Chains A and B, each alone.
Chain A
């Protein structure tokens, strides 16, 4: 069953707290992505990972970092979260040597107070 999972689905944090968003996929896809979606702005790429420990910045990496120690897991970390990081975060995966369709997770709605 081709699936991308995200945990947690909803999260409320205070400004300055650390945030960990987790993503998993069961398709052995080499490439994984983190996006954020804000109203009217479509999807903005934060980071792309081409495989374990092979990560590249996307368009808006400032304030974020990622970790990929296993092919099936990709984490997004916000060190000292800011209120402007309130958003919906989507993880996605795709086959390598693309481009191919991306499979999206259900999203995490993060609120930073």
Chain B
């Protein structure tokens, strides 16, 4: 158990809909990262938050957004869903205090999104 929790585990929805994925980082971790895992694209970085502020963006679509709340949990919002958005979405957390990437990212169990 990494200490990172994600809900829900599974999500099935229809094209055009909007969903919200939730992540609670390990106790004390300030950084949260979101990744997408799909068969064709592999594991891709989406977005990072540090202590409530957006820190970096990866290959995140404009239809996707995220935020980190004062209690440090994070939510990933996916809207106008398309079939191709079906994937496993992971959240990872790290201490984030070194500022130089030496800390370890610990991953949650993921949310499997299926868009029908």
Q: Do chains A and B interact in one complex?
A: no
